[in-house]
C-alpha cells in the first residue's frame, strides 16, 4: 500500500475543517506506514445420531484491520513547508455459528431445526494532526478541549491501529442477530412436494457517528420478526415443474404483516441432440436489515466508503422490490453448452441515507434518534441480459461470456432528486475461463474479465458531500476507463500418508494492469479546474495455497 494508493486529499481536508490545517493544494508524502491484517477461521462438523438423524454445526471468525498513518509536507506554502500527520484506520470483526438437527421421522417426511447466531462489529477512526501538535506536550486536556490540537495523538507512528482517543473522528456500527428456524418437507403426492417453515429472529444494532463532517448522532434499534412460509413444488406433464410459495413476515415494531409471493415454472426436455432447460420466475422480495454506506472522509482515506447495517425500526418501511427473471440452457451431446438469462427488478422502496440531513446545520441530533430522521425512501430499476458458451472435453473446460446491465436509482437530497446510474453498475462485461491439464499432474486455470462503461469516476466522498470545488452534479456522466484483469492458477494434488493435499500457486492480475478504481481531484491552482488523478487497483499478486483433507 504505497503512495500511489494513499495520498493527502486537500479537498477532504478542507471539508473536515481541521483546525490549523494548511491551505495547501499539493502535498509530498514523507512517510507512509500501512497497516494490513486479515484473519479468518472456519470450522464445520457433522455427527450421525442414528437411523435418519444427524447433527451438523459450523462457525466462522473473521478479524480484519486496514489503515495507514501518513506524514506529508505541504509544498505550495509561502511561509514554509508545514507538516501534517493523518491516520485512517478500519477494523471489523464478524463471528457466526450455526447448529442444525436433521431427521426423517417417516418415509415421506424430512424435518430440520436450526439455531444461528451472528455478530458484526465495525470501527473506523481517522484524524489529521498539524505540525504544531507533534510534540507530546501539546496533547493536554486543555489543548484538546480548545481545539488547539486538531485531532488526537493516537495517529502518531507508535500508536496501535484503532486505539481510539477522545478527539478521534469515529464511525462505529454493530449488528447482532439470533434466529431459530424450523423446516418441514412432506412428499404429499407422487409428484408434489410441500415445504413448510417458520422463523423467529431478533436483530439489534448500534450506530455512532462523530466524524467532524456529518452531524453527530447515535441510533440504537432492536427488532423482532416472525416469519412463516409455504412452498409447493408440482411435477406437471411434458416435463414441466411449478414452484409457488408465500412468505409472511410479522414485525411487531410495525404491527404489520408483509407478504412475499413467488412463482416459477421450469422444464427440461430433449431437443436437437441435446437437452434444453428453461425457467421463468417472478416474485416480491423484502429486506428487514438494510445496508448503508458512508463515504470515507479522512484526508488520507484508504477505502472509498464505510458500510454498516441497521434493522428497520418501525419509523421507515422495509426495502421492497419486484423481480422477474428468465433463463435458458442447451447442452449438446458433444459437451457444448449455451446459456442465456435476463432479469428486471423494480425497486419500489429503498431506504437511503439523506445526506441533506447528515450535512445540515440544525445542531445536535437526538441521543437515540429514529431512522426516519436521517433515512428517506428512494426507488430505482435494474435490468440485464447475459450469455455463456461452454465447451467441455475429456480433461479441459473453457467458457466465454458477456453480460449487459443497467441500474439506476434516486439519491435523497442529491443530484436534484433525479435518478442516476448506480456506482456498482457494470454496463458491459466480458469474461473467459479455461481449465486444462499440464504435464506432471498439474492443472492450470485462467480467468479473464473486462468491464466497460463504469460511472462515478471520482471518489464517493466528493459526490456524497457535494463539494463545491468538484464537478459532482451528474455522476452517471463521469466515466472510468475500461477494466482488464487476468488471473492464473496452477495446482497439483498430492498424497501425504493418509492425507490428501492440494498445493496451488495463483497469480492475480498477472498482466499487472493498472486498473483505475476511482480518481482524486488534484487542484494545481485556485483559478484552474482541478485535475484528476486515478487511484489504481493493486498490481500483480502471488498467492501460495495448501489444502489438507482426508
Cα(432)–Cα(133) distance, integer angstroms? 54
Is there a domain that residue 333 lies in? no
At 144 the pLDDT is: 32
Inter-CA distances, 145 with 6, 132, 152, 213, Å: 30, 16, 11, 18
| pLDDT band, residue 189 (cuts 50/70/90) | confident
- What percent of the chain shows pLDDT beyond 90? 52
User: If DSSP codes are grouped into helix, strand and coil, which group holds residue 400?
Assistant: strand
Is there a domain that residue 406 lies in? no
- What percent of the chain shows pLDDT beyond 70? 87
Which domain covers residue 550, as residue numbers? 429-550
Q: What is the mean pLDDT of residues 348-372?
A: 83
Alpha-carbon torsion angle 28, 17, 82, 66, nearest 10: -40
Least confidently predicted of 46-60, 240-254, 323-337, 458-472? 458-472
Q: Which of 238, 239, 260 is nearest to 249 (CA)?
A: 260
At 524 the pLDDT is: 67
CA 244 to chain centre: 31
Is there a domain that residue 308 lies in? no
Cell of 9: 486529499
Burial of 548 (0-12, 13-18, 19+ CB in 10 A): exposed
Detail the DSSP E strand segments found in 288-360. 289-295, 305-311, 319-332, 336-353
Q: What is the mean pLDDT of residues 191-208?
A: 94
Least confidently predicted of 340-344, 382-386, 546-550? 546-550
- Residue count of the chain, please give it: 550
At 150 the pLDDT is: 33
Q: What is the mean pLDDT of residues 400-429?
A: 94
At 155 the pLDDT is: 34
- Tell me how many domains the chain contains: 1
At 160 the pLDDT is: 35
Residue 451, pLDDT above cutoff 80: yes
Is there a domain that residue 294 lies in? no
Residue 378 makes CB contacts below 8 A (sequence gap 6+) with: 350, 351, 352, 409, 410, 411, 412
Between 530 and 247, the more confident residue is 247
DSSP state of 458: B
Residue 295, pLDDT above cutoff 60: yes
Is there a domain that residue 475 lies in? yes
Is there a domain that residue 218 lies in? no
Residue 393 makes CB contacts below 8 A (sequence gap 6+) with: 335
Query: What does the pLDDT look like over 109-146, one tens digit per residue?
Result: 999 999 999 999 999 988 887 765 444 333 333 333 33
- Return mean pLDDT, the chain: 86
Least confidently predicted of 211-215, 333-337, 371-375? 211-215
Is there a domain that residue 504 lies in? yes
Cα(382)–Cα(290) distance, integer angstroms? 18
Whole-model pTM over 0.75 = yes
Is there a domain that residue 24 lies in? no
Amino acid at each position: 500500500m504505497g503512495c500511489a494508493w494513499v495520498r493527502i486529499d486537500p479537498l477532504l481536508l478542507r471539508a473536515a475543517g481541521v483546525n490549523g490545517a494548511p491551505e495547501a493544494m499539493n502535498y509530498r508524502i514523507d512517510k507512509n506506514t500501512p497497516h494490513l491484517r486479515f484473519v479468518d477461521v472456519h470450522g464445520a462438523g457433522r455427527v450421525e445420531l442414528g437411523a435418519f438423524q444427524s447433527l451438523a454445526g459450523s462457525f466462522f471468525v473473521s478479524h480484519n484491520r486496514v489503515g495507514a498513518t501518513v506524514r506529508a509536507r505541504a509544498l505550495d506554502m509561502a511561509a514554509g513547508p508545514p507538516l501534517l500527520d493523518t491516520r485512517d484506520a478500519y477494523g471489523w470483526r464478524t463471528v457466526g455459528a450455526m447448529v442444525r438437527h436433521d431427521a426423517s421421522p417417516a418415509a415421506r417426511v424430512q424435518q430440520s431445526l436450526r439455531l444461528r447466531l451472528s455478530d458484526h462489529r465495525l470501527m473506523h477512526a481517522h484524524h489529521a494532526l498539524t505540525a504544531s501538535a507533534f510534540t507530546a506536550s501539546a496533547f493536554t486536556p486543555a489543548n484538546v478541549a480548545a481545539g488547539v490540537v486538531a485531532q488526537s495523538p493516537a495517529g502518531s507512528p507508535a500508536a496501535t491501529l484503532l486505539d481510539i482517543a477522545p478527539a478521534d473522528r469515529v464511525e462505529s456500527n454493530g449488528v447482532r442477530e439470533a434466529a431459530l428456524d424450523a423446516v418441514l418437507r412432506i412428499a404429499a403426492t407422487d409428484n408434489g412436494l410441500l415445504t413448510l417453515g417458520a422463523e423467529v429472529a431478533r436483530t439489534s444494532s448500534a450506530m455512532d457517528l462523530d466524524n467532524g463532517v456529518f452531524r453527530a448522532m447515535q441510533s440504537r434499534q432492536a427488532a423482532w420478526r416472525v416469519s412463516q412460509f409455504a412452498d409447493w413444488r408440482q411435477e406437471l406433464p411434458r416435463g414441466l415443474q411449478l414452484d409457488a410459495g408465500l412468505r409472511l413476515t410479522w414485525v411487531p415494531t410495525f404491527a404489520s404483516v408483509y407478504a412475499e409471493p413467488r412463482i416459477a415454472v421450469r422444464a427440461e426436455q430433449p431437443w436437437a441432440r441435446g437437452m434444453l432447460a428453461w425457467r421463468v420466475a417472478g416474485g416480491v422480495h423484502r429486506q428487514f436489515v438494510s445496508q448503508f454506506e458512508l463515504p470515507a472522509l479522512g484526508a488520507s482515506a484508504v477505502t472509498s466508503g464505510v458500510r454498516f447495517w441497521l434493522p428497520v425500526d418501525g419509523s421507515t418501511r422495509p426495502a421492497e422490490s419486484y423481480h422477474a427473471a428468465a433463463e435458458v440452457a442447451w447442452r449438446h451431446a458433444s459437451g457444448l453448452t449455451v446459456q442465456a438469462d435476463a432479469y428486471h427488478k423494480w425497486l419500489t422502496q429503498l431506504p437511503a441515507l439523506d445526506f441533506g440531513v447528515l450535512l445540515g446545520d440544525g445542531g445536535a441530533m437526538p441521543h437515540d434518534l429514529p431512522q426516519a430522521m436521517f433515512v428517506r425512501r428512494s426507488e430505482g430499476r435494474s435490468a440485464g441480459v447475459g450469455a455463456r458458451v461452454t465447451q467441455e472435453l475429456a480433461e479441459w473446460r473453457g467458457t466465454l461470456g458477456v453480460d449487459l446491465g443497467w441500474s439506476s436509482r434516486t439519491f435523497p437530497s442529491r443530484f436534484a432528486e433525479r435518478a442516476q446510474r448506480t456506482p456498482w453498475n457494470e454496463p458491459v462485461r466480458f469474461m473467459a475461463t479455461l481449465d486444462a491439464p499440464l504435464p506432471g499432474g498439474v492443472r492450470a486455470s485462467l480467468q479473464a474479465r473486462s468491464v466497460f462503461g463504469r460511472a462515478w469516476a471520482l471518489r464517493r466522498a466528493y459526490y456524497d458531500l457535494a463539494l463545491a470545488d468538484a464537478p459532482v452534479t451528474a455522476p452517471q456522466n463521469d466515466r472510468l476507463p475500461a477494466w482488464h484483469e487476468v488471473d492464473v492458477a496452477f495446482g497439483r494434488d498430492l498424497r501425504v500418508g493418509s492425507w490428501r493435499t492440494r498445493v496451488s500457486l495463483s497469480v492475480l492480475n498477472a498482466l499487472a494492469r493498472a486498473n483505475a478504481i476511482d480518481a482524486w481531484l488534484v487542484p494545481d491552482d485556485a483559478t484552474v479546474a482541478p485535475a484528476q488523478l486515478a487511484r489504481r487497483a493493486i498490481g500483480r499478486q502471488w498467492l501460495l495455497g495448501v489444502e489438507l483433507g482426508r
